[in-house]
Structure 1
């Protein structure tokens, strides 16, 4: 009898919880209506096309379509791992994205700390605007700017090297030794300012009483950053690091494609450009789908692994 009453109480409690959640949805219905365009966008352009991954297991023929193309199982993946050039592309992807994460991840944090220390509101807004402006420019525009700035005949960088320092012009974009650093630096230039907004928002949420108490104890500004601001940012830093871990294999197609040229293919061709070449240029759709599926599975594994490691050293995880 007691067990039955306990089960009934649990059932009633669950019903009340569901009703409470439903009531919250109804109360905040306008917020969910505002969210609808985003949900619809992801359903149509991200989740809807996911059925297309089946062609990675087919010998896909455009005229026959997905339903009419013959199944080949894992033949495309066997071909993928038997191609020596695939490993070159994979190595380029990992090296470039590792450098981006290693050198690019701390930059927004440092930039947010520096902006936070600016006392003049006008100067602070100006620095913020200038820093995140490149984010709103497409890679087509930015790539054109980079090519012009580094041009050996008319670029300001080579002009300084030649006329002031006395060195010969350097063909940066076509030099295999310079191509990867250019990708890393241009990525930092484009993304750092916008990512800084996240850390500035986290800094704004820090309790100001801690700073006031620190000032009363005679702690310097550098010590306040080290002992108050940075520890308060650790939860956000951990979350951002977990989310960024998948980018080690998910490269930026637009950036690489707009800067890539024949002379740097061996060091600059990455998985996304390789997929584009195989899929659209050579019309090898099934093989390109296999490359893309491999990349996404590895990215998913990396995110789960990073989240698991973060859960062992910190309480902050994304799931």
Structure 2
């Protein structure tokens, strides 16, 4: 009885504390209202469309006239060998993007932090994050030009006698994942570095001074102070990216993919586009979209739970 009363009081205290903080931060709460409305309209209301996955949806019919087929489209989805191929491609491309994105951005942030020449540091930062502002249409055109049979890469390799004839880079599917990973790094590494540099700037400078007095070199300070200081931000971003593990992208795959590398370039988003819009099978496309969302939720909550059990920073 006493334990139950104690639990109730704890819950009441938590609610009181929540409302007290809400009143204290009422300005921020009011500022969030437009974004909450936007999220509700564009992120939650469209969930009504998930009902299409359980119907033989026909655009010309009203909701009441649709034929309900339960899990039929999910059964078709999991019986389709193409679905498993695009799922493989999505997971591999997402994993490459995740690993390369984290490693390159953290490495660049550490190196930039060690630069003493402010002018050169700002120049490198500017050059590295400029590609982020280039649209994927332009970026893909640059990549296709560089990798064309008469592009600069083939010309350079021929000059160095590393190859005997021009390589059709975009015509061989086994090269696509590596090309996509390199392109993603080139385009986004500078932008991703900004948040890590912000995390580094929050580290107390006295820690570096104390380590330097103790005789710690640059590498030792980097490993013992900088990386641990970045750890909470790294873990939070890792959890968030785990929630996007099936979001391998759409534009680069759509623009760089072709009939010769389709077995490696087609991902879930292109699969949904092909069946949903290309073939008019909205129900199967919606079923694939639901699968992607559910798996993303599982990854997100699993990563957050693991971080919680390990005593690390987490989203909730």
> Considering the TM-score relative to the shorter chain, is it more than 0.5?
yes
8 Å CA contact 1:149, 1:157 repeated in 2:
yes
Three-state SS of the structure 1 residue aligned to 2:57 is coil
CA distance in 2, matches of 1:15, 1:249: 36
Cα drift, residue 45 of structure 1: 2.0
Q: Does 1:289 pair with 2:286?
A: yes
Cα drift, residue 104 of structure 1: 2.6
Identify the residue that residue 83 of structure 2 maps to in structure 1. 86
Q: Does 1:127 pair with 2:124?
A: yes
Three-state SS of the structure 1 residue aligned to 2:207 is helix
Identify the residue that residue 238 of structure 2 maps to in structure 1. 241
| TM-score (structure 2 length as normaliser) | 0.91
Decide which of 255, 258, 261 is 1:258's aligned counterpart: 255
Identify the residue that residue 20 of structure 2 maps to in structure 1. 20
- Cα 1:219–1:80 change in 2 (3 A) is same
Cα drift, residue 142 of structure 1: 0.8
Q: How many residue pairs are counted as aligned between the two chains?
A: 313
Residue-by-residue CA offset, 1:191-215 (whole Å, 9 max, x unaligned): 2211111111110000111101111
8 Å CA contact 2:172, 2:261 repeated in 1:
yes
| TM-score (structure 1 length as normaliser) | 0.90
Identify the residue that residue 3 of structure 2 maps to in structure 1. none
CA distance in 2, matches of 1:13, 1:311: 23
Decide which of 106, 113, 135 is 1:109's aligned counterpart: 106
Cα drift, residue 176 of structure 1: 1.2
Three-state SS of the structure 1 residue aligned to 2:168 is coil
Identify the residue that residue 161 of structure 1 maps to in structure 2. 157
Cα drift, residue 99 of structure 1: 2.0
Identify the residue that residue 275 of structure 2 maps to in structure 1. 278
Three-state SS of the structure 2 residue aligned to 1:116 is helix
- Cα 1:9–1:136 change in 2 (3 A) is same
Residue-by-residue CA offset, 1:167-186 (whole Å, 9 max, x unaligned): 31111112112111011111
Q: Does 1:146 pair with 2:129?
A: no
CA distance in 2, matches of 1:302, 1:15: 29
Unaligned 5+ runs, structure 1 = 1-5
- Cα 1:235–1:68 change in 2 (3 A) is same
8 Å CA contact 2:22, 2:29 repeated in 1:
no
Q: CA RMSD in A?
A: 2.5
Unaligned 5+ runs, structure 2 = 1-5
